[in-house]
């Protein structure tokens, strides 16, 4: 299933790459030489409507069996305002889940 999902996602990207290669000689050479930068870590600043500024670290984890599949892991350093804000959001979410009526099985 994951392979078919990955392929479905990749098809439009491949079509774009083929079109760019056909239309632009510079891109065609650049892409063929693979002169592009990849990043697997970084930081991101987000402004959340409830808790405000979040400064998050991210890591891209690639599955060895299928390098086209990645999981992005977001984290915050313990003790930082961002970490505290994420914990607050977690508590808010938890309390909302506890207030919802449960279905009887």
Tens of pLDDT, residue by residue over 83-104, are: 999 999 999 887 777 666 666 6
Q: Where are the alpha helices (DSSP H) in 24-80?
A: 25-33
Are the C-beta atoms of 85 and 95 separated by less than 8 Å?
Answer: no
* C-alpha of 103 from chain center: 33
pTM (2 d.p.): 0.53
pLDDT value, residue 6: 47
Backbone phi and psi for residue 62, each to the nearest 5 degrees, phi listed first? -100, 135
């Amino acid at each position: 299933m994951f392979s078919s999902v990955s392929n479905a996602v990749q098809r439009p990207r491949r079509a774009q790459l083929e079109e760019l290669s056909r239309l632009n000689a510079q891109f065609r050479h650049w892409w063929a030489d693979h002169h592009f930068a990849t990043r697997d870590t970084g930081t991101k600043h987000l402004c959340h409507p409830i808790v405000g500024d979040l400064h998050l670290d991210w890591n891209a984890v690639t599955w060895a069996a299928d390098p086209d599949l990645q999981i992005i892991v977001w984290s915050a350093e313990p003790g930082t305002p961002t970490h505290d804000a994420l914990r607050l959001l977690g508590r808010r979410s938890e309390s909302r889940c506890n207030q919802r009526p449960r279905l009887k099985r």
